[in-house]
Structure 1
Amino acid sequence: MATDTAKYKFNHSMLRVKDPKQSVKFYEFLGMKLIKTMKNPDAKFDLYYLAYDSPKAASHGNHWTDREGIIELTHNYGTESDPEYNITNGNTEPYKGFGHVCVSVDNIQAACQRLEDAGYKFQKKLTDGRMRSIAFALDPNGYWVELIAQNPVEQTENVNETDIQTYRMNHTMIRVKDHEKSLNFYQDVMGMKLQRISENKDAKFNLYFLSYGPDAPKQSSNGVNPIADREGVLELTWNYGTENDANFKYHNGNDQPQGFGHICITVDDLDAACSRFEDKKVTWKKRLTDGRMKDIAFVLDPDNYWIEIVQNEKLKQRCNW
């Protein structure tokens, strides 16, 4: 048995939601399509998978396991009518950890205006602060959705149109305590490539962007972020000095209060991949052989975030998802 990490895909990011109707409506408004629903009435939860799927999308028509840039919404029955049920968005103390998902858009001014006109709120509008090329919208659960530009902002400022079919679910951001440990884990163990580093020495934090697939160009043809047109990017945010604090840790979203659940990697051969992870001496949350579900495994990263491991059904058929 062999496994090739070059065939892995950063498939999805899971977010728990209070009311699935509101959340699905929001992400559909952003241009995503509900490509799969998994109902689990016995366990009293349902899963909703959303992805960009227009003819202009990066993985149009692919099986859900053969994609990148999916958002999985998890709904536990009854939360929508429970006034006490609240989700942590990962950005409030003392529960910081997960930061945001990010959608790249063709015209950031028009995209933001469209969201605002529809009544959606913002954590940061384009005009707020110093950075005038990114915004953060809020989804119905208070999760941050970053919006970044695929085209130079100055080229689109006088254009009032945006084509949601060209959008990409670009990246997912998680905060990490020790950047060296995390970079080693995601490159050596998970097989991702470090595509870009953004150093912010004055503000004392760095951003590291990793993905599968080809190496990104150092500069894009139009001068914007060279990986803005991709899906399946993982952004690691490291704040200087956290690695030296023995008591410091991030909230993984699965301890109470809950919110973000996991990221998911699909692999070419699930058994071989898990055997390789075993050889790499990973910390397991769930081995393939644990419990009733024999088609998924969960690995823990250095910050205790959960990483789901699933078979890419295009490469090898394993189960009838």
Structure 2
Amino acid sequence: MATTTDTKNYKFNHSMIRVKDPKASVKFYEFLGMSLVKHLQFPEAKFDLYFLGYDGTGALSQGNSTFDRQGLIELTHNYGTEDDANYKVNNGNAEPHRGFGHVCVAVDHIQAACRRLEDAGYRFQKRLSDGRMKHIAFALDPDGYWVEIISRRLGSKGADDPEEQGQETDTTTYRMNHTMIRVKDIEKSLKFYQDVLGMSLFRTSEQPAAKFNLYFLGYPGDKGVPENGFTADYEGLLELTWNYGTEKDENFKYHDGNSEPQGFGHICVSVDNIDAACARFESLNVNWKKRLTDGRMKNVAFVLDPDGYWVEIVQNERFTGQENF
């Protein structure tokens, strides 16, 4: 294994959310075409982890080891929550606990994909036909987390697209496209994700009338940064949402998902050499939640982004030839 680290080898591996009932949640994400690629059990600590992602023919990470992938969703289940009538996650979209916003799945035929979800009894925060934006929808997973549905087809008009009518959907073509978090100071956040974590800015969407901008970042890998700005065919992107003026409010703060009420936990970047990567982060004066040497788990670290969101750092198993867990 190399003794140095190169951010070109980094991957946006997964996004972790806590769930009440793992059976219901796994069923939902499998209905969206994902596969369970890893199930880790920690009975002594009374929690399990479920890693789900696209693994079929045509999937960008097909067959890779768990931490040599992008665009996974990690479900964390703390034993007993499924039997607790009062247990409820914070989905990140309700005041005063906003922070994490959603995950996003890109699909082949968006009308058919949404109809299939509705026919299966799943709820929607926003249907294609709702509001002004007819080209996106938001489904709700069993815990009420928002799952954005977008089209992989360039120029799709969603609900108003006659080419979509009568089409069927194939979940093996779906992508876990991005994870959205809200940030207070976009300049600080862009600097962190680009200069510290080595991501590239793929696309910016400015919405001055609505007073917010969106910034899509990721690791280009072999695909490279999209020349036309169309990002729906990628997996493992990070969307930063910046609402104008938040950076000027000294008391403004987003909820990190890990203080009560809990919900979203962290995003995770896998690296080529975890010791070298953490030494580099140390040299860049990052804020640590957990160094490699802290606690019992010596093979994971956590750094904090400018808003206090946790970013897990793990070893990409392709560079060591052995599994992390």
Structure 1 residue 155, shift from structure 2 partner: 6.0
Pairs within 5 Å for 1:163-312: 163-213=170-220, 214-219=223-228, 226-312=230-316
* Corresponding residue for residue 43 of structure 1: 45
- Distance in structure 2 (CA, Å) of the matches to 1:50 and 1:319: 17
Q: Is the 8 A contact 1:16 1:75 kept in 2?
A: yes
The one-letter code matched in structure 2 to 1:2 is T
Length-normalised TM-score, structure 1 = 0.97
Structure 1 residue 160, shift from structure 2 partner: 2.8
Q: What SS does structure 2 have at the residue aligned with 1:165?
A: helix
- Distance in structure 2 (CA, Å) of the matches to 1:198 and 1:77: 41
Structure 1 residue 79, shift from structure 2 partner: 0.2
Q: What SS does structure 1 have at the residue aligned with 2:97?
A: coil
Equivalent position to 2:130, from 114, 128, 131: 128
**CA deviation vs aligned residue, 1:155-207 (integer Å, no higher than 9, x gap):** 64223300100000000000000000000000000000001000000000000
Structure 1 residue 110, shift from structure 2 partner: 0.2
Structure 1 residue 217, shift from structure 2 partner: 2.6
- Distance in structure 1 (CA, Å) of the matches to 2:55 and 2:285: 37
Change (3 A) 1:112 1:281: same
- Distance in structure 1 (CA, Å) of the matches to 2:48 and 2:287: 27
Q: Is the 8 A contact 1:52 1:168 kept in 2?
A: yes
Pairs within 5 Å for 1:113-152: 113-151=115-153, 152=156
CA RMSD in angstroms comes to 1.1
Which consecutive unaligned segments of at least 5 residues does structure 1 have?
220-224
The one-letter code matched in structure 2 to 1:217 is P
The one-letter code matched in structure 2 to 1:191 is G
Q: What SS does structure 1 have at the residue aligned with 2:30?
A: helix
Change (3 A) 1:175 1:143: same
Equivalent position to 1:112, from 114, 125, 135: 114
Change (3 A) 1:148 1:83: same
The one-letter code matched in structure 2 to 1:186 is Y
* Corresponding residue for residue 78 of structure 2: 76
The one-letter code matched in structure 2 to 1:275 is A
Q: Is the 8 A contact 1:311 1:318 kept in 2?
A: no
Q: Is the 8 A contact 2:272 2:315 kept in 1?
A: yes
Length-normalised TM-score, structure 2 = 0.95
- Distance in structure 2 (CA, Å) of the matches to 1:318 and 1:27: 27
244-253 vs 56-65, which deviates more? 56-65
